[in-house]
């Protein structure tokens, strides 16, 4: 179990939710996300989006199964890295870097 806080000003919206679900689906463990007692399936993008987690929302990631601890750490890391995947930069961010602004 690990507590995380949504830091994105747009909240836990579709793109990070998609990355979260794709990551969660790589594990055998049953993964759940808890927002103030509302528990949803961490491998379902629809369930994640129903949480409507805005910036500042605290979520608890919990898992059960053989790789539960690894799964929770990997998912919590997504929040710590603010869902930035350096290997897949968006054209906008590359353009901004070229212009010297971020």
At 84, the pLDDT band (50, 70, 90 cuts) reads confident
Condensed to tens digits (0 to 9), the pLDDT of residues 16-69 reads 999 999 999 999 999 999 999 999 999 999 999 999 999 999 999 999 999 999
Q: Return the higher-pLDDT residue of 3 and 94.
A: 3
Q: In which domain, by residue range, is 85 found?
A: 2-98
Contact between 47 and 41 under an 8 Å Cβ cutoff? The reply is yes
CA distances to 9, 80, 94 from 63, rounded to whole Å, are 27, 18, 36
Is-catalytic flag, 95?
no
Confidence of residue 85 (pLDDT cuts 50, 70, 90): low
Give the pLDDT of residue 94: 42
Reply yes or no on whether the pLDDT at 78 is more than 90: yes
CATH of the domain at 79: 3.30.1340.10
Which of 2, 7, 11, 13 is an active site residue? 13
Domain count for the chain: 1
């Amino acid at each position: 179990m690990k507590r995380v806080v949504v830091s994105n000003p747009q909240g836990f919206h579709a793109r990070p939710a998609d990355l979260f679900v794709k990551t969660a689906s790589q594990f055998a463990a049953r993964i759940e996300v808890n927002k103030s007692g509302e528990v949803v399936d961490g491998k379902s993008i629809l369930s994640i989006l129903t949480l409507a987690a805005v910036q500042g929302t605290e979520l608890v990631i919990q898992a059960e199964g053989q790789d539960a601890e690894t799964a929770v750490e990997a998912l919590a890391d997504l929040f710590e890295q603010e869902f930035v995947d350096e290997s897949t930069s968006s054209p906008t961010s590359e353009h901004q870097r070229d212009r010297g602004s971020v």
